[in-house]
Structure 1
């Protein structure tokens, strides 16, 4: 066992130590530092080896070798004073030793990098081929064989200018420039590929080139997937921008009149099912409010609520709005569009003004209601949906059926649960609560401090029949509040600012017994609404009496056998 001491604790001394420490026949007994200013090398890790001052060198006995890494006369004099048969390796020899060590270390580093690079190239899915500056192929990875079917041993050593002169690898060697997206057939195989190649430049000189390529079908698959994902993202963006949720619940429907309460009760029961609902009522009675409330009270409340105003969309666009269209379905259709029914999947679609829909679209809507499936305009893929339909109209659908403007089968499909919303003129007892609610809401909106109405103002409102119903009432109250600053709104405020508010003047009428007057009014009502069950129901509603009361009066007056 050779006992060795190393003089110098700087980087050279540490390098010598690292070079010798793992040799079996060598034992490094100590490192010596030349002075207090000498600092230990940055790669020093062994805390078990003693580090002593150079002046204590003579204390060590039986040293076989002293390795001096310092070029110092003082150190040389100290070494000469060491007794015994000790060999000394001077600075020049140490430098040779360190050079060999560094070259060995660099070689190991190169081998490590080569191993890492080989592992990376062998694991990637793209084919890789490398040629030297003369075009001789030096390397191909396993993916090359998978893509082309050519074994590595048959490819390496071939000249790329002979076997694939039109490929990207040869082009990069010829031009010394990068080649991107080059589509060609690999020489020696039938594989059609898309390639990217780059020259290899070392110290400013061309040393070869490398090409990376994929099979063309793989690229096309990726492109198709990219297009599909892009379309999906576009559709989701469109869907996100169009999907809405319900805004109102049954608590937002104000009024205590018997007719309104009855309508609310039917709507609440309908909300617990998935049945189609048909909302009937004059314009402005709150059909959309009922639709929102039904959706909110249903099990679909967390899903989309989509509204379609059938009267506001041009007939030629209504079908594409309902069902969407495929890309290229018509000029300008550069991408596909999601229709309202697909947007409402899982939720509710509200078809307002359903009586204004054309007959052709009525037939397509009937199929959706029956089968819950449809095709986009210009598409051939059947789309299945789960949608709850609520329809509304202010028109008499039976009259439209008789005139051939509405399909009877669609009417019966829509009219599963029918809810008639009473007009404001037959529930004037709700005027007070409606007006107070509007005043509170408009005070916040307009920054006003209106407290209520005077008695004469209430008389004006109660004397009017409100053909526009609640919508007209809201417009009238807001118009008045915008133009006045009083805390109490009076009769003069409404008369002055609402020209369409006309109160019918009193006029002399012939006095008749009440029972005869009832007969006249019943005759007029039945003449207007018809003698069918539906007509009698609407007549009773117009007369502000129940259907049972109407039947009793008809029976008592023996109207059944008359012409009415």
Structure 2
């Protein structure tokens, strides 16, 4: 077996976890670990295990050649520096990837344990003194245990594949298949055997439908318990397979937040301090101000950054389903719950959960969320045992929670539990210094996306942006620039290009600012596309592609708005 030579840069928690995990593999040899902190716990662990320690990554990489280098320092520049020092033949694994790998290894170990349990259960079934026989809904024999052969004298290969209606037409299995009901204490004798047996049979129900039946000769109490354990193990394997795929990576740091205004700088500074703590955070602000971006940055800047951040919009999921999404459910907890499902809190264990639109949560779930915060444990729907969790909660809302408390729609005790640290993001109209900075950022972003070369805004275009009150905030600003840069032909965004997006009459009155009707905007965009690409069939095909609609939709819109083409 090929042995891999491994080096680790960073001897903190990540490095220690790697040593503990990789040491269990026979084909992996950890030949060095480096950290500038002489007191790092990973170095002490390495010494115990006989792994050579180094004071820096450079000294380690000069002294040895490795097949794989794990970089788990948490330093953004470390991976770049290491890549310069190692040959192309050496693979470099960064901290986040290493964390995911460790998680998958751990989950794989759990799956192997479950598989082992299933194999053990199969051995137990074959060791049982009782005879067991399983048929499908058509009566075809699918399984017999060794006890069946011992009692009846009939080898398994002479029974599996036969129809029970032919070999035991008076037996308990046939009665169950005909009636769909359990049959207990039925005496009979299988065809081809002199053995007299007392049979207890029951239908096998999956998702409310009978898929077959099982019969047990003699005492069935212990076998039923083991069968339930087998089903639970199968359900857990299926549930874990589904939920492992849902692990997501968070994008967004404080460096991604564009802000020149002093008010936003104050908010960012406060958020950076909050990120280093582990307290619950409540983010408030109007729709479109960037609450999710701040939530991402809070997680990325926290000690939990290498753990998952799980997001859920409390307003987007029906109240009757939200509990299952948050806390998970056991197999069979309700109709359609065929297998175990891990909830968002379990998926976020060790990391962060972002509860967006918390003001829309039902009173019943508010009470359960309060208990989760107080007890640090959840209980799956249909479950009976509490499950301990370690999750940081970040909540967000565009509603006035104090007003909701006043009218009885939000719990006051939950509000104070969530509002340990409050980050209020001001609307764009109150930080107009940021508008032009954001505009410049979006110009660069959409230049890359649409292969354009827009240099910037004219002075009049800037004045127009600053005169608008931005009811949709940063999200509205971004959407306008995406559409504008898609259609722009020159190198500068002028007032004329932006003006169609605003209602002229309301723009003159700062108190009544707004956007033009969607249909008018749609008509103008189609006209502009046809002017640019022409009204021929080929031109319309290009126009439809630029507008991201089908050619048939374009023809329907041309007819709807009576556009000459």
Give the TM-score category using the shorter length: 0.5 to 0.7
Residue 399, structure 1, aligned to residue 403, structure 2: yes
> Per-residue deviation at 1:453?
1.0
Going from structure 1 to structure 2, the CA distance change for 1:310 and 1:368 (only over 3 Å counts) comes to same
Going from structure 1 to structure 2, the CA distance change for 1:393 and 1:500 (only over 3 Å counts) comes to farther
Alpha-carbon contact 1:171-1:179 (below 8 Å) kept = no
Going from structure 1 to structure 2, the CA distance change for 1:240 and 1:179 (only over 3 Å counts) comes to closer
TM-score (norm 2): 0.52
> Per-residue deviation at 1:222?
6.7
Partner of 2:158: 177
Residue correspondence of structure 1 range 280-319 to structure 2 within 5 A: 280-319=284-323
Partner of 1:205: none
Residue correspondence of structure 1 range 2-401 to structure 2 within 5 A: 168=149, 177=158, 223=227, 226-401=230-405
> Which protein shows a greater Rg?
1
Q: Distance in 1 between matches of 2:156 and 2:354?
A: 66
Q: Secondary structure at the match of 1:294?
A: helix
> Per-residue deviation at 1:346?
0.9
> Per-residue deviation at 1:400?
1.2
Q: Distance in 1 between matches of 2:403 and 2:298?
A: 27
TM-score (norm 1): 0.53
Partner of 2:447: 443
Alpha-carbon contact 2:467-2:510 (below 8 Å) kept = no
Structure 1 runs (4+) greater than 4 angstroms displaced = 125-128, 169-176, 178-188, 190-193, 215-226, 497-502
Alpha-carbon contact 1:476-1:498 (below 8 Å) kept = no
The CA RMSD measured in Å over matched residues stands at 3.9
Alpha-carbon contact 1:192-1:216 (below 8 Å) kept = no
**Structure 1 unaligned blocks of 5 or more:** 1-124, 129-142, 149-165, 194-212, 508-564
> Per-residue deviation at 1:216?
7.9
Alpha-carbon contact 1:278-1:417 (below 8 Å) kept = yes
Going from structure 1 to structure 2, the CA distance change for 1:191 and 1:385 (only over 3 Å counts) comes to farther
- Number of positions where the alignment pairs a residue of Structure 1 with one of Structure 2: 333
Going from structure 1 to structure 2, the CA distance change for 1:394 and 1:175 (only over 3 Å counts) comes to closer
Going from structure 1 to structure 2, the CA distance change for 1:405 and 1:127 (only over 3 Å counts) comes to closer
> Per-residue deviation at 1:171?
5.7
Going from structure 1 to structure 2, the CA distance change for 1:449 and 1:502 (only over 3 Å counts) comes to farther
> Per-residue deviation at 1:478?
0.9
Partner of 1:419: 423
**Structure 2 unaligned blocks of 5 or more:** 1-122, 131-146, 174-187, 201-216, 512-565
Counterpart among 496, 516, 531 of residue 492 in structure 1: 496
Q: Distance in 2 between matches of 1:500 and 1:344?
A: 48
Q: Once the two structures are superposed, what CA deviation does each residue of 1:348-368 show, in whole Å capped at 9, x if it has no partner?
A: 011111111121211111111
Q: Once the two structures are superposed, what CA deviation does each residue of 1:437-482 show, in whole Å capped at 9, x if it has no partner?
A: 1111112222222221111111100111111110010011112122
Q: Distance in 1 between matches of 2:153 and 2:419?
A: 74
